[in-house]
Amino acid sequence: MDDSIEERDALTDRVMQALSEVIDPEVGIDVVALGLVYEVKATRERVHVRMTMTSPACPMGGQLADEALDEIRARLPEIDDVEVELVWDPPWDPSRMSETAREFFGWPDT
């Protein structure tokens, strides 16, 4: 039986809440607010997250992806198949950040 739209939305919300606990140690802001999460697909059987870093040269990429995976698994233990994929296309840009994150950096709305 397929997951309902409401169930997928609720699972996606839970994943996003988990990801908001993953803090980029270089700036002290979570990966959701930084706009590093590009896509979340969540069902009862599987969670797949596509996320990026502010730069492909970011030394924290692997660590943040691992932390994201651990946080999702901790918050959704009923789902065995969890994948966090680091992607570089499209390239990240500051317009993806939340208003709060832009204010933190003193950047105007983009």
| Tens-place pLDDT, residues 12-37 | 999 999 999 999 998 999 999 999 99
Measured distance CA(1)–CA(97) in Å, rounded:
36
* Contact yes or no for 80/48 (Cβ under 8 A): no
Q: Is the pLDDT of residue 110 over 90?
A: no
Pick from 14, 21, 6: nearest CA to 79: 14
Q: How many CB atoms lie within 10 A of CB 52?
A: 25
* Contact yes or no for 73/66 (Cβ under 8 A): no
- Of the candidate CATH numbers 3.30.300.130, 1.20.120.430, 3.40.50.1110, 1.10.3720.10, the domain formed by 5-105 belongs to 3.30.300.130
Task: Tell if the pTM clears 0.85, that is, is over it.
Answer: yes
